[in-house]
Every structure is written in C-alpha cells, then in structure tokens.
Amino acid sequence: MQTKPFRIGTRGSPLALAQAHEARDRLMAAHGLPEEMFEIVVLSTKGDRITDRSLAEIGGKGLFTEELEQQLASGDLDIAVHSAKDMPTRLPEGLCLSAYLPREDIRDAVIGRTAPKLIDLPHGATVGSSSLRRQALIRRMRPDIKVITFRGLVDTRLRKLQEGQVDATLLALAGLKRLGKVDVITDILAAETFPPAPAQGAICIESRIGDARIDALLAPINDTATFDTVSCERAFLAALDGSCRTPIGGYAICEGDQVRFSGLIITPDGRNQHAVSIDGHRRDAAALGTRAGQEIRARAGSSFFDDWS
Ligand SMILES: NCc1[nH]cc(CCC(=O)O)c1CC(=O)O
C-alpha cells in the first residue's frame, strides 16, 4: 500500500491553487483518503514571472507548464493540475492529459465599468484583453473599440479596470467562479456568438504515460463528457497548428452519445472569418475535431494564416 503522499504540482496563482485543491478534494473523496496522502507542490513558471508582455510575444503556452512537466517526467511530481486552455496541443514525450474534472461554464464574462455590455460601451471605448481571440471577436462586434494588452492575475486586471485604465475587460467565467468573484460580472457572452477558447473552463490532470498506479488513482475522478469535448476542441486546435498568433474559438457539446462541435478562425481585425460545424459519435470526438480543423484550413487557404502574422 502507498504510504508516501501523492505529489500534486501546480502553479502558484490563486486560480491555479483553487484548481489544485479541487483536484485534491475529488481524489480524497473518490478514494476515501485523508488529506495527508496528498501534498500540493507549488512551482513558479516563466509565464508567471513575465507579466508585462503578451503570451504570443514571449513564446506561448509552454511557458506555464515547462517547470511542472520537467518534475513530472523526473518523478518529482505524480500529477500536475492545469487549466486545459493553457496547455500546448503537443506535450513533452512520455506525458499525457489523463483526466479532466467536470467542466465549469465555458463562456467569457464581461466586467464593464462604463457600461455593463460590450454592445453599450461608449464609442471608441477601451477594452483590456491580451487574448487574440477576444480581441478579434470584440473588433468583429465593435470595430470602434480600442483593445489594449492586459495580462496578469485576475485581481491585477480588476484593479486596472477600477483605476479607469479601461472601460471593460473580459475574463473566463470559469475562473471568476472558481475564485468566488462572480459579483464583478456585468454580462456573459453567448458561446454561439462569442466562441470560447478551446478547452476553456476545463481543469486537466497531466501525468506520465503508462504509470498504472497513477492511472488507477485518476480513473474515478475523470469526467468523460469533459474528456470528450476537450479532446475534440484540442484536436481542432492542433489541426490548425494552434499557433499563439491565430485567433481561434470553438466548443463541443455532448448530447447522449453524440458530440457537436462549432469552430471559428478569425483575422485579428475581426473582418474575415471561417466557421465550421460538425457532429458525430462521442467515441470519435478527437477525430471530429481534427476533421473540422482540416476543413476550415482547406477553406481558408494558407493566405488566411500568412496575411497578418
Ligand atoms: N490564460 C489564462 C487563463 N487560463 C485559464 C483561465 C480561466 C479558467 C479556464 O478557462 O478554465 C484563464 C484566465 C481567463 O482567460 O480569464
């Protein structure tokens, strides 16, 4: 029997810690294990340390995961808990996303200061967001709005908003819920018209491929609907080569044994876009995402990706 505690790796941001604690609580409940059997190990990542530049500028998603993945691979950690949205489509050799917790709301939330809804902001208003997807979707809706880069912890962004640096900002509803900050929300954007980032709202657990002991630990907490929808969305992203400079949105929904996916690519100015919808059996979720990505890529042509990168 295992006597040493399982080591759970996480970043140190308030959101990351909340997510690691949720994973630990679910593991304790599923296995009837005491808290002492789990140790939450907090690591600082490059992405946490560099907060004054956009992710696309400093090299993308891998910056939040590198340190955790090194320790997973070496056996210093047993699992790592992440926002699935922050995970690169390709993982280091030997690691995989082996479980997903039940998904939170996938939508984006508006935190408005001068008006509650994006649609009602004053002409020429400024919105803070560093997500290329949100920037493009805002411009599609309101070409007059000026979007400025806005990174950092949720609290930092909310402070900048209160100080009047911007008229509004956008954040994932899931993160605000997990941090207990839903009271700041002034509007919620429908996924149909403002598609979320692939994997938004999902917490994933990364582990070593073929580690039977850890697979057995994780199996009872894996949410299969989240696993299937996020696998579909990540396959879509991968088929589009998910570069950090490509605004991409998309979400899948499970209904019975079926999965339905809608995806979008859009130019940063919000003026050109290609959308795709596909459905099929849940067992083919990832293949459907891949097919949707290939279809949209063929339709858009390579110039769509070249013109503005
Ligand atoms: N890139 C940062 C990030 N990664 C995950 C979330 C929110 C939680 C989630 O989507 O699961 C956020 C913040 C945000 O987009 O508002």
In 3D space, the residue among 227, 181, 237 whose CA is nearest the CA of residue 202 turns out to be 227
Is 284 a catalytic site residue? no
Q: Are residues 8 and 127 in the same domain?
A: no
CA of 258 to the centre of ligand 1 (A): 27
Q: Are residues 62 and 124 in the same domain?
A: no
- If 0-12 CB within 10 Å is exposed, 13-18 middle and 19+ buried, where does residue 261 land? buried
% of the chain with per-residue pLDDT over 90:
84
With contact defined as beta carbons under 8 Å apart, do 203 and 100 qualify? yes
Whether residue 198 has its Cβ less than 6 Å from ligand 1: no
Predicted pLDDT at 309: 46
What is the CATH classification number for the domain harbouring 272?
Answer: 3.30.160.40
Whether residue 200 has its Cβ less than 6 Å from ligand 1: yes
Q: Model pTM?
A: 0.94
pLDDT band of 6, cuts 50, 70, 90: very high
Domain total in the chain: 3
What is the CATH classification number for the domain harbouring 128?
Answer: 3.40.190.10
Q: Are residues 249 and 112 in the same domain?
A: no
Mean pLDDT of the chain: 93
What is the extent of the structural domain holding 242? 223-301
- If 0-12 CB within 10 Å is exposed, 13-18 middle and 19+ buried, where does residue 174 land? buried
Q: Are residues 9 and 94 in the same domain?
A: yes
Helix (H, G, I), strand (E, B) or coil at 276: strand
Report yes or no on 208 lying in a domain: yes
List, in sequence order, the alpha helices (H) in the chain: 14-31, 46-49, 55-58, 66-74, 132-141, 154-162, 173-178, 212-218, 224-239, 285-300, 302-306
CA of 137 to the centre of ligand 1 (A): 17
Span 168-203, pLDDT tens digits: 999 999 999 999 999 999 999 999 999 999 999 999
Whether residue 83 has its Cβ less than 6 Å from ligand 1: yes
Predicted pLDDT at 241: 76
Residue 254 has pLDDT above 70, yes or no: yes
Predicted pLDDT at 242: 58
CA of 97 to the centre of ligand 1 (A): 17
Span 41-83, pLDDT tens digits: 999 877 777 766 666 666 666 777 889 999 999 999 999 999 9
Q: Are residues 207 and 86 in the same domain?
A: yes
Of 78, 86, 167, 211, the catalytic one is 86
CA of 26 to the centre of ligand 1 (A): 21
The answer to ipTM > 0.90 is yes
Helix (H, G, I), strand (E, B) or coil at 59: coil
Report yes or no on 197 lying in a domain: no
Report yes or no on 132 lying in a domain: yes
Predicted pLDDT at 52: 66
Pocket perturbation via mutation, ligand 1, pick of 200, 229, 244 by most ligand atoms within 8 A of CB:
200
Whether residue 86 has its Cβ less than 6 Å from ligand 1: yes
Structure-block tokens of residue 154: 């949720």
Q: Are residues 2 and 81 in the same domain?
A: yes
Predicted pLDDT at 62: 74
